[in-house]
Structure 1
Amino acid sequence: MQSAVESLEVTWAERWSESWDDFFSSWLAPLGALAWAILVSAVAALVLARLLAFLPVMWSGEPSRHTTDRLRGWGLGLILGGSAAIVLFAGGPGAVWLLAVAGAVVIVAGIVGLSRGLATSRRLSVEVRDEAGQPAAMHTRNVLVLLTTLAGSRPRGLHFAIGSDVDSLSDFALSGVAPGRLASALQAAARFVAGGTPWCLSVDATDRDNLAVSISRHGRKLHAGVINRSDLGLTAAGSGDQAVDLDKFVAAFALIALSSSYPDVAGLAGTTSWRSLGLHFVASTELRDDDDDSRAIAILGHAVDLDPGNHPAGLMLQYRRNRYVTEFDALRRYADWLSAEAAHLEAEHSPTRNADYALHYQRVLLNYVVTVVNLVAIGGHGPDPSTGPDASRARDRALQLVRLIDARTGEKEGERAGGSGELPLLEQKMRLVAATGYVALGGSADLLEVGSRLTEAAISASPWVRYDLGCMHYAQSEEQTNPERRKELEELALEHLEYAMIAPRPRSFVWKDPMLVRLHADSRFQKLARSPRPDFWDLEPLRPYRRQFAALGITSPLRLSTFAGSRAELGDYLGSGRLRTLALLGVSELANRTEVLSLLPWAEELLSRYKVELVSEIVEEGILGSAELGNLTEQERDLLSTKVFRSLEHRYGFEGFDFLRVAGWVDSLVP
């Protein structure tokens, strides 16, 4: 009876507790001691690996982000495994101690691997602080976006590099800082201790015109600089003009700093100055669509002064100086410069094998081919240039470029078989333009590598490719003696040019293309190129002297109409006769009055858009100034208004011009 009562007093909870105590004392307690020993050993190894990452000797080489991630993962695993082996087998009987020695070797390998992974990790944090010293989140995001645009995306720009040709930062992990001073400080401390983000770009904004930048690696400052707007020759932020974004120079600073530590950062084409790179970045983005080249030329000139080795800036400078040139001698000088640049690259930099110069070299060849095509189209200077040495060399260069890109296609196909990428769209477009240039210069379209590219170009959706194809067909038509074949080629040219007009850049360039000057009088061309010219310098009397006026600081008709010098002095400078100088001044006065009229608060939008065409039509009727317009009788002025209206209606009938409206514009120009 008593034993039964005692047995009832031992509950299941008590039995479970006794079992757990036995299990803990027999198994978990010994394992806990081992776990603590393993943990202490692993932590010591991790600390040693982190300390080794501070040594510059561990920073050498150029492993990819994938490789560094694997190094860190494997290093951590080896450290944990080696620590376990040492703790479990150290002091064991017989040969078991050899396992502990092996564990020590594994730990050493893990320390080296982890340290190497931390030291070479491609991770960059960006920290921007405002004038008050607070983290500026939006400013930080802007720097991250610009850094990715400059060096983390595929190269852009057919005739010149937009930003740079570097895309290596796509292999970098970029991050900002947490908002708030305390949060950002804790984040920075955690990154420093863990070592997962070795690179840190710091920006302190003292005001809108001054930035202090520095970049450090594992806490060691490597590069620092000051970005001052006036030192860079840029307009002050409060001057009223659109101010340049100085964050572009921050991105350029970071790229140049990283390129000095990673030899595989290719695409800078000799650029070593971040200030020069930043100026080129500004000119190729913010000023890319400016019809007025003067500001871009000034900025690019400064970029080349700062870094004569900045080949992309030099190429863009020459392109902006010569893109609208129609004088034979000027085009010839441009072609000679491009030829010399190509020869220099071949002699000094092996651009077909050196990835740093590859795209720049291809652009130089492409610009050379296009320039010689324009040179041949102008003609009229001595022997036929289409049969001369320039055309022959340009054909060879065009074919060389096609074959060079075809060879890269073969390389990329081999990479694709191994699971890699494909030929960039930019180079595909280059190849098509080079093929059309080759045929435009008289090359055979029957060559396999050329004929297939022409077929590809004919169905391309790219406006610029179709534009170049149209120019090729027009160049072919100019060489034809068979009237039917000539007409057929002209129709093909106009068909492709019409397609190209869907894009704003070809639409604005078509009137300035020296190759198509002879087409301007063709009504079919006028119909397809129906975008009104935006600049009074495009007027026929003024266009040839645009660069000479710019050299005098005359950038608008107003400046010309108020020229302080005498007419004789102006004529001597321009090399024009007295009558032509009078005509230039008269046309500029007429353009100035039209400009003022279009800027009045009550001015019609249609006049603002077609002001250049209005003056052009008046000049076409032989009226070379507002004084001449005022000398007309009322009937003569009505007749002039009728002719101007009919011409505008014929060329831009889709606008629905009204005769009374056009007549009112003409009457308003009478002084």
Structure 2
Amino acid sequence: MAKDHSLGVEITRNRKGIDTVRVDRRILKPTALAAGPDAAKNADAAKDADATKEAEAAMSDLYRLAAAVILMRVSKKYRGFDGLCGATEWKSVGLHFLATKVPVKNDEAIELLTYAVDDDPQNRLAALSLNWQLHRYATDPDEIQRHATWLLGQLDEIKDEVEGYEALRHRLVLNYLTSVCTLRSIPGHADAEQQAGMQALNLVAALHHDESNLAKDMRHLAAVSVRRLIPHLTGAPPTDLLSSGQTGHIEWGTEDWMGDDWLERANKNADPHVKYALACYYAQSESGSVEKSVRLLEDALVLPDLKTWAVKDPSLLPLHSSAKFAEFVGMEPAATWRDVPPFLPFKTKLSRLGIATPAQLVAAQTAPIVGAGSPGAALADYLAVGALELTVLLRAATFCEAVGEQGLNFGSFEHELISALLDQGITEIHQVVLMPPAERRKLVAQVSAAIGTRCVAGPDATTVSGWLGGFYIDVDIL
């Protein structure tokens, strides 16, 4: 029975009560859970559809936690639940499920999993998920190395476990391989974790005849890992690369072996994660195909978390010079002056008015606009801005024009440079030209950093310094 934030779970056998547990969401307290059944009362009163959905989500949470209660109670009475991998507490199992099977944000998943591990430190599945969420987007080589070492340690701890631990073992290895592939793509770490190739081969062998859904999902990812970690391997792998007992899983000299046909099979797989892994492979391969890698990413980046990670992923660094890649991740340089922040809210109106250059915008302040008021106020009325905001726009437009007249080669970053300078309060060329050296160096660092946060492959500080050092003003301005 559900009441407010709780649900009573009664477990019976042959109509005889065995146990009663109350699932209370307020005790669990993770903020990632929905607001609770109280929202249903508000929904009835306010006819709020969103509140109704929230209440329904809260009830689903309670039912899932109730299922965890029943699962753990039954697992203590019957065999066949080895797949719990050490978990003994229903709260931990329930929270782990909510964090990994219900769509939640990364920080919310971390919170749920932290509660899960705190409640039951023996829940290896929750510990694995927590560590993956914490380190999956790491770019610091030391952090990646520590995570890889932790994964190997977990593998060693369960080496003697047989029943129910295979899925956990496979996931530990796959996470390890993913981390090592990222680590090796960082300069200076190309030879890290020499045993990773053996781990990849053994995982492919172990998964080869496993028909479970999890194994099918992992198979292509494992195959791509082998190609990344042992790029020159052809034919049957040397026996010293395989653990004892693994060689019999695959007919290594036949089509079972993962030559180019395995890559073709992976290419046909629609899973965005497989597409992403392939994109990383092609980006890092010696023959490097930027075009092929970018084409794969177009399908992979439908997942928001992959799109966010792609910008920082060291494996995809070779793609940063690709305009298409920048477009896919939403970090291409501003294409026109109308994409510069002061003008962006008015981009459509300016286009309709036929204003194609900053100079035309400045001139429009005194030109009558059809349907507007007097010439002096026409532009402000049309844009629906006050006198002060119009002054800011016109000053920015004058600055855009002045930067363009400097005659410097900014590549595709002219409008990003203007945007960054405006952010620093620079609206006149002479502010840069007459700036003391120490302040200029600080400005260079700020501008290059700002462009770098908005663009995949922004200019370095030396390039920005050259641009600003090339600014000039006519003597008569002084």
**TM-score, with length taken from structure 1:** 0.43
Please report how far the alpha carbon of residue 372 of structure 1 lies from its aligned counterpart in structure 2 after TM superposition: 0.4
CA separation in 1, counterparts of 2:128 and 2:324? Answer: 35
SS at match of 2:9: strand
SS at match of 2:86: coil
The residue number in structure 2 matching 1:374 is: 182
CA separation in 2, counterparts of 1:620 and 1:343? Answer: 51
CA contact (8 A) 1:283 1:300 kept: yes
Please report how far the alpha carbon of residue 516 of structure 1 lies from its aligned counterpart in structure 2 after TM superposition: 1.7
| Deviation digits for residues 85-105 of structure 1 (CA, Å, limit 9, x no counterpart) | xxxxxxxxxxxxxxxxxxxxx
Say yes or no: does 1:404 pair with 2:206.
yes
The residue number in structure 1 matching 2:325 is: 525
The residue number in structure 2 matching 1:578 is: none
CA separation in 1, counterparts of 2:108 and 2:300? Answer: 28
Please report how far the alpha carbon of residue 633 of structure 1 lies from its aligned counterpart in structure 2 after TM superposition: 3.7
Aligned residues: 317
Alignment of 1:36-55 (within 5 A): none
Alignment of 1:127-146 (within 5 A): none
CA separation in 2, counterparts of 1:232 and 1:362? Answer: 30
CA contact (8 A) 2:85 2:123 kept: yes
Please report how far the alpha carbon of residue 621 of structure 1 lies from its aligned counterpart in structure 2 after TM superposition: 2.5
Closer, same or farther: CA 294–443 of 1 in aligned 2, 3 Å? same
Please report how far the alpha carbon of residue 635 of structure 1 lies from its aligned counterpart in structure 2 after TM superposition: 11
- Give the residue type in structure 1 aligned to 2:300: A
Closer, same or farther: CA 511–440 of 1 in aligned 2, 3 Å? same
Closer, same or farther: CA 302–454 of 1 in aligned 2, 3 Å? same
Please report how far the alpha carbon of residue 466 of structure 1 lies from its aligned counterpart in structure 2 after TM superposition: 2.0
Say yes or no: does 1:463 pair with 2:268.
no
The residue number in structure 2 matching 1:436 is: 224
Please report how far the alpha carbon of residue 521 of structure 1 lies from its aligned counterpart in structure 2 after TM superposition: 3.7
SS at match of 1:495: helix
The residue number in structure 1 matching 2:315 is: 515
Closer, same or farther: CA 217–338 of 1 in aligned 2, 3 Å? same
CA contact (8 A) 1:328 1:379 kept: no
CA contact (8 A) 1:324 1:514 kept: no
| Deviation digits for residues 215-268 of structure 1 (CA, Å, limit 9, x no counterpart) | 111122223212122221234535999674222211111111222233123532
The residue number in structure 2 matching 1:246 is: 62
The residue number in structure 1 matching 2:338 is: none
Please report how far the alpha carbon of residue 279 of structure 1 lies from its aligned counterpart in structure 2 after TM superposition: 0.8
Alignment of 1:404-423 (within 5 A): 404-408=206-210, 423=211
Say yes or no: does 1:338 pair with 2:151.
yes
CA separation in 2, counterparts of 1:321 and 1:497? Answer: 24
- Give the residue type in structure 2 aligned to 1:327: D
Closer, same or farther: CA 618–208 of 1 in aligned 2, 3 Å? farther
CA contact (8 A) 1:386 1:441 kept: no
- Give the residue type in structure 1 aligned to 2:22: V
SS at match of 1:216: strand
CA contact (8 A) 2:220 2:274 kept: yes
Which piece of structure 1 moves more, 208-217 or 234-243? 234-243
- Give the residue type in structure 2 aligned to 1:494: V
SS at match of 2:27: coil
SS at match of 1:231: helix
SS at match of 1:378: coil
Closer, same or farther: CA 379–635 of 1 in aligned 2, 3 Å? same
Please report how far the alpha carbon of residue 491 of structure 1 lies from its aligned counterpart in structure 2 after TM superposition: 2.9
Closer, same or farther: CA 231–619 of 1 in aligned 2, 3 Å? farther
SS at match of 1:257: helix
The residue number in structure 2 matching 1:365 is: 173
Please report how far the alpha carbon of residue 305 of structure 1 lies from its aligned counterpart in structure 2 after TM superposition: 1.2
Alignment of 1:298-317 (within 5 A): 298-317=111-130
Q: 2:262 aligns with which of 453, 456, 467?
A: 453
CA separation in 2, counterparts of 1:621 and 1:454? Answer: 42
Alignment of 1:70-85 (within 5 A): none
Q: 1:233 aligns with which of 15, 29, 42?
A: 29
Closer, same or farther: CA 393–211 of 1 in aligned 2, 3 Å? same
CA separation in 1, counterparts of 2:258 and 2:20? Answer: 50
The residue number in structure 1 matching 2:394 is: none
Please report how far the alpha carbon of residue 287 of structure 1 lies from its aligned counterpart in structure 2 after TM superposition: 4.5
CA separation in 1, counterparts of 2:120 and 2:416? Answer: 47
Q: Which has the larger radius of gyration?
A: 1
Say yes or no: does 1:493 pair with 2:293.
yes
SS at match of 2:22: strand
Please report how far the alpha carbon of residue 518 of structure 1 lies from its aligned counterpart in structure 2 after TM superposition: 4.6
The residue number in structure 2 matching 1:632 is: 427
CA contact (8 A) 1:338 1:365 kept: yes
- Give the residue type in structure 2 aligned to 1:426: L
The residue number in structure 1 matching 2:132 is: 319
CA contact (8 A) 2:294 2:319 kept: no
Closer, same or farther: CA 219–438 of 1 in aligned 2, 3 Å? same
SS at match of 2:28: coil
The residue number in structure 2 matching 1:273 is: 89
CA contact (8 A) 2:92 2:115 kept: yes
- Give the residue type in structure 1 aligned to 2:214: L
SS at match of 2:19: strand
CA contact (8 A) 1:467 1:500 kept: yes
Please report how far the alpha carbon of residue 333 of structure 1 lies from its aligned counterpart in structure 2 after TM superposition: 1.0
- Give the residue type in structure 1 aligned to 2:191: T
CA separation in 1, counterparts of 2:120 and 2:415? Answer: 46
CA contact (8 A) 2:30 2:111 kept: no
CA separation in 2, counterparts of 1:231 and 1:625? Answer: 51
CA contact (8 A) 1:386 1:442 kept: no
CA contact (8 A) 2:279 2:297 kept: yes
CA separation in 2, counterparts of 1:625 and 1:324? Answer: 31
SS at match of 1:621: helix
CA separation in 2, counterparts of 1:250 and 1:261? Answer: 17
Closer, same or farther: CA 226–514 of 1 in aligned 2, 3 Å? farther
CA separation in 1, counterparts of 2:290 and 2:176? Answer: 24
Gaps of 5+ in 1: 1-203, 409-422, 533-616, 637-646, 652-671
CA contact (8 A) 2:276 2:297 kept: yes
The residue number in structure 1 matching 2:191 is: 387
Closer, same or farther: CA 305–504 of 1 in aligned 2, 3 Å? closer
CA separation in 1, counterparts of 2:20 and 2:102? Answer: 26
**TM-score, with length taken from structure 2:** 0.59
Identity of matched residues, %: 29
CA separation in 2, counterparts of 1:317 and 1:622? Answer: 42
Alignment of 1:111-260 (within 5 A): 204-205=1-2, 207-235=3-31, 237=36, 244=58, 245-260=61-76
CA contact (8 A) 1:325 1:514 kept: no
CA separation in 2, counterparts of 1:294 and 1:344? Answer: 28
